[in-house]
């Protein structure tokens, strides 16, 4: 018996687990303090009424012999897949029914999709980046090359013709930096991938935060992307499903490598290793894309956008440089007074009792930066900002 020794090459703890552990230790030592978490991007508003009512209906269906459901279809109930197709059509993207795969979330699919690719592929990830892209490839022992995202390029790296990659991760609006690619910028990535027969793994988990029409909501808004890109989407941030779990992945029929449609491989992988998302969850998810559902989630998104504005105002008042917060729920700021990322984490936790995420946890280029999320309650976001302003104005 041999273990997968690649696991020994992983950093000690998953970033958000380390942040949670440090926060818990601080709270245990200072039970009287009210700690505000603006760290992990976890939603705080309840599910939309349309979603709740659809879920109640689904529970009732399960209570009656005539409407009871056992195993669902491998890739999602027809009603949800059609609702997803409708949502794409409203973005000007036409997809076929079999190109949509419903899953329990973008994080799982980000890792699972690697099953259909050879170990030998070179993977390109931006730095800084959502740690799941790196960790899942380290687990598989793949070679990783980094595309530098820096303040100079607005944290939006563009393709470098001298670097070859087979699998390319892009996330826009970006986690952690909040920066978002325009359709023109994405076109350059699509061209780069097509020239090399590479595949882009495009994480669109935050697309519903985009309001600027020049920015992409889906990579398929760029011509040719259907021949080189897989898109990973989630109901987590769109509709508050972080605890409910539902997402979807698009594998276009036109995406063919070595004579094999990747859609066929992913379908085979999913039908073998995954038994679908619960009927209750999928019924709730389908309600997100009804007229009423979209209006209601629009209100939640507006609430989080207002929090982002509150944080942006606070940073402006302090003269702190940042990206994001406009078409994204994340604000990515330069740590004040030349502090390192973990140093600022400790400073904020201890002196303002506010928790954020250290930028260095997302990669070496994140050192000296810090991420705050707008997913908290309006009250706690305002209070956190008051404390941050008071602390940094004094300091």
Binding site for ligand MLT (CB under 6 A): 40-42, 107, 130, 175
How far apart (Å, rounded) are the C-alpha atoms in residues 145 and 168? 10
Residue 342 CB, nearest approach to ligand MLT (Å): 17
Residues 6+ apart with CB under 8 A from 306: 378
C-beta of 41 vs 366, nearer to ligand MLT = 41
How far apart (Å, rounded) are the C-alpha atoms in residues 202 and 208? 15
C-beta of 38 vs 93, nearer to ligand MLT = 38
Q: Which of 89, 107, 92 is nearest to 232 (CA)?
A: 107
Question: Taking each helix axis from N to C terminus, what angle separates 49-62 and 279-288, rounded to the nearest 10 degrees?
Answer: 150
C-beta of 37 vs 305, nearer to ligand MLT = 37
Radius of gyration of the chain (CA): 21
C-beta of 82 vs 108, nearer to ligand MLT = 108
CB 60 within 8 A of CB 392: no
Q: Which helix (H) or strand (E) holds 383?
A: helix 378-394
Residue 10 CB, nearest approach to ligand MLT (Å): 16
Residue 248 CB, nearest approach to ligand MLT (Å): 15
Residue 350 CB, nearest approach to ligand MLT (Å): 22
Distances in Å between the Cα of 76 and the Cα atoms of 72, 218, 242, 262 are 7, 20, 19, 18
Residue 311 CB, nearest approach to ligand MLT (Å): 15
What is the dihedral sign for C-alpha 283, 289, 293, 296?
Answer: positive
The three-class DSSP label of residue 250 is: strand
Residue 230 CB, nearest approach to ligand MLT (Å): 18
C-beta of 187 vs 371, nearer to ligand MLT = 371
Residue 180 CB, nearest approach to ligand MLT (Å): 16
C-beta of 326 vs 371, nearer to ligand MLT = 371
Dihedrals phi, psi of 18, to nearest 5 degrees: -65, -45
Dihedrals phi, psi of 338, to nearest 5 degrees: 70, 15
247: region left, alpha or beta (phi > 0 left; psi from -120 to 50 alpha): beta
C-beta of 23 vs 263, nearer to ligand MLT = 23
C-beta of 175 vs 365, nearer to ligand MLT = 175
Residue 40 CB, nearest approach to ligand MLT (Å): 4
C-beta of 116 vs 355, nearer to ligand MLT = 355
How far apart (Å, rounded) are the C-alpha atoms in residues 343 and 327? 28
80 HSE (CA, 13 A, CB side): 30
Residue 111 CB, nearest approach to ligand MLT (Å): 11
Dihedrals phi, psi of 340, to nearest 5 degrees: -75, 165
């Amino acid at each position: 018996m041999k273990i997968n020794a690649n696991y020994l090459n992983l950093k000690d703890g998953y970033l958000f687990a380390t942040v949670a552990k440090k926060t818990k230790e601080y709270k245990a030592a200072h039970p009287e303090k009210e700690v505000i978490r603006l760290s992990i991007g976890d939603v705080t508003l309840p599910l939309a009424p349309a979603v709740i009512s659809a879920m109640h209906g689904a529970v009732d269906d399960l209570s009656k012999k005539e409407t009871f459901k056992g195993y669902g279809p491998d890739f999602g109930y027809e009603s949800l897949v059609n609702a997803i197709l409708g949502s794409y059509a409203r973005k000007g993207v036409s997809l076929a029914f079999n190109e949509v795969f419903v899953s329990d979330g973008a994080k799982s699919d980000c890792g699972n999709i690697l099953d259909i690719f050879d170990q030998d592929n070179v993977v390109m990830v931006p730095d800084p980046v959502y740690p799941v892209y790196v960790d899942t490839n380290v687990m598989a022992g793949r070679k990783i090359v980094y595309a530098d995202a820096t303040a100079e390029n607005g944290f939006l790296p563009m393709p470098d013709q001298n670097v070859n990659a087979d699998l390319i991760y892009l996330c826009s609006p970006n986690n952690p930096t909040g920066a978002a690619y325009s359709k023109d910028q994405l076109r350059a990535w699509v061209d780069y991938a097509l020239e090399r027969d590479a595949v882009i793994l495009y994480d669109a988990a935050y697309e519903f935060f985009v309001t600027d029409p020049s920015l992409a909501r889906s990579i398929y808004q760029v011509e040719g992307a259907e021949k080189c890109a897989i898109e990973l989407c989630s109901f987590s941030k769109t509709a508050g499903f972080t605890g409910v779990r539902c997402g979807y992945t698009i594998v276009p029929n036109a995406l063919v490598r070595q004579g094999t449609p990747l859609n066929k491989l992913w379908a085979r992988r999913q039908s073998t290793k995954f038994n679908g998302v619960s009927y209750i969850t999928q019924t709730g998810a389908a309600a997100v894309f009804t007229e009423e559902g979209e209006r209601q989630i629009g209100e939640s998104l507006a609430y989080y956008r207002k929090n982002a504005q509150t944080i942006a105002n606070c940073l402006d008042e302090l003269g702190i440089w940042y990206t994001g917060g406009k078409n994204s729920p994340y604000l990515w700021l330069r740590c004040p007074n030349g502090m390192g990322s973990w140093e600022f984490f400790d400073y904020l936790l201890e002196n303002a009792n506010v928790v954020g995420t250290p930028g260095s946890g997302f990669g070496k280029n994140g050192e000296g930066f810090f991420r705050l999320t707008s997913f908290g309650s309006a009250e706690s976001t305002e209070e956190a900002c008051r404390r941050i302003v008071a602390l940094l104005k004094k300091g």
